[in-house]
Structure 1
Amino acid sequence: MAELYGESPLAARAEALADSSVPGALRLSEVAFTAQVALRVDPKSPAAERIGTAVGAMLPNQPGQVARTEHLQILWMGPDEWLLVGPEGSAEQIQETLAEALGEEHGSVVDVSGHRTIVEVTGPKSRELLAKGCALDLHRRSFTSYQCAQTLLARAGVVLLCRDTERPSFWIFVRASFERYLADWLADAAAEYRL
C-alpha cells in the first residue's frame, strides 16, 4: 500500500520565495497547512455568544477586526461571517467546538483549510512591497496589528492580515487557484530589494 504524502500548495515555489528574501529587509515564505474554518451565524443570536465562550474570544463585530486566543485567530469576514485560523491538524477540533456551540440554531461551520494557503511577508520593506499591488493604506497607523481586510493584491482576491506593525509582518490568504501566480508576482516585485 502506498504511503500518504502531503505537499504544501506552494512547495514548488518555496525556493523562489526564499531566493526573493533579502536579509534584514524582506522575507517571503509559505505558512502551510493551517486549519481554516468558515463560520456563518447571526452575530446577535445566543449561538454567537455560546461560540465566543466556547472558543475563548467573542466574535469580532466590526470590519477588519481580529480576535485572538492562544491557538486561534478569528477574522471578521462579513456581518455574519468569520474565518477561524488555527494550527495544523486542528480543523476537526475547531469544527466540533463550533458545531456543538451552534447547536440547533441556524448557521454553518465549514472546513475551508484546502481553499487557501498563506504567504507570509515580513521585514521593513514588507509594506512597500505589498503597496505595489494593493490599494489599501498599509501605513502602520491605518492598518494596525491584528487587523484584516479582503482586498486585491496584484489583481488576485486575497485576505490580508497584519500580524505586527512594529516588526512588519503580514499574512496573505490566497485562493488555491491564484497561489502560484501570487507567489511569482511577489518574487518579481521583490527583485529591486536584492540589488
Structure 2
Amino acid sequence: MTVDAVEEPFRTQLTVRLRDGHTLLGVGLPTPCTFTSSNGVDILWMGPDEFLVLAEPGRQAELEAALTPDCDAVVDVSAQRNVYRLSGSPDPRANCPNDVALKRRESAAEVLAHGCSIDLKVLPPGSCVQTILARTGIVLMVREDGFTVLVRQSFSDYFKAWLADASLEYVP
C-alpha cells in the first residue's frame, strides 16, 4: 500500500454567511457535516449559517461578485489554509474487492488514523468534518477515492512532516 499526497496550491476559498437560502452559485447547500460539488466548486458546511466555497485558483473575484448579492457576508480566506489531496493505492498482493476507489480511500484512511480519532472508514463520501489531526485543526473532506485535507497555512510544514512520518511503515 502507498499513499499519495498532492498539494493543491492557491485554491480559491471563500467563507460565506447565509441565513436564508437553499443554493449558492446554483449548487444546493450541504446539510451538516457534508459538502456538495457542482459547477467547478465544492461547498462545505462549516456551521448553521456558514459555508466554505472551494474552487480552482484565481476565481476569488468572480465568485465573490456572484455571491455578494445573495449572501449576508463573503470573505476571501484563500491564504488561510493549504489544501492537500490524499489517496492510497492498495497492496497489489492483497486480496482486494473490485471497488478500487473504496480501497484507495481505505489506504489513505489507514495513514490518517495515526493522528485522527474519527473512524474515517465509516464516513461516506460527501462527508466533511472539522477535527484534530496530530494536534492540528483541519477540515477533512471524504471523497470517493480519498480525502481532501485543509490545514492552516502556519501548520502546513508540520502537517507535511507528520504525514511523512505516519507513512513510513508503508514504504517498501
State the alpha-carbon separation in 2 of the partners of residues 65 and 170 from structure 1: 13
Aligned to 2:95: none
Question: Does residue 85 of structure 2 align to residue 120 of structure 1?
Answer: yes
State the alpha-carbon separation in 2 of the partners of residues 63 and 137 from structure 1: 18
Higher helix share: 1
Classify the secondary structure of the residue corresponding to 1:181: helix
Aligned to 1:109: 74
State the alpha-carbon separation in 2 of the partners of residues 63 and 131 from structure 1: 23
List, as ranges, runs of 4+ consecutive aligned residues in structure 1 with deviation greater than 3 Å.
Answer: none
State the alpha-carbon separation in 2 of the partners of residues 118 and 151 from structure 1: 15
Classify the secondary structure of the residue corresponding to 1:128: helix
Aligned to 2:57: 88
Classify the secondary structure of the residue corresponding to 1:63: coil
Aligned to 1:69: 38
Q: How much does 1:37 deviate?
A: 0.3
Aligned to 2:113: 131
Aligned to 1:78: 47
Unaligned runs of 5+ in 1: 1-23
Question: Does residue 170 of structure 2 align to residue 193 of structure 1?
Answer: yes
State the alpha-carbon separation in 2 of the partners of residues 25 and 157 from structure 1: 24
Aligned to 1:147: 127
Aligned to 2:25: 55
Give 1 or 2 for the bigger CA radius of gyration: 1
Question: Does residue 158 of structure 2 align to residue 174 of structure 1?
Answer: no
State the alpha-carbon separation in 1 of the partners of residues 85 and 35 from structure 2: 17
Q: How much does 1:154 deviate?
A: 0.4
Aligned to 2:10: 33
Once the two structures are superposed, residues 113-141 of structure 1 have per-residue CA deviations (whole angstroms, 9 ceiling, x without a partner) of 000011211113201000110011111xx
Q: How much does 1:92 deviate?
A: 1.1
TM-score by length of 2: 0.85
Once the two structures are superposed, residues 57-94 of structure 1 have per-residue CA deviations (whole angstroms, 9 ceiling, x without a partner) of 1222x321111112100000000100000011111111
State the alpha-carbon separation in 2 of the partners of residues 172 and 162 from structure 1: 9
Aligned to 2:68: 99
The count of residues paired between Structure 1 and Structure 2 equals 155
State the alpha-carbon separation in 2 of the partners of residues 81 and 30 from structure 1: 25
Classify the secondary structure of the residue corresponding to 1:26: strand
Q: How much does 1:28 deviate?
A: 1.2
Classify the secondary structure of the residue corresponding to 1:134: coil
Aligned to 2:136: 156
TM-score by length of 1: 0.76
2:117 maps to a residue whose letter is A
1:58 maps to a residue whose letter is G
Q: How much does 1:25 deviate?
A: 2.3
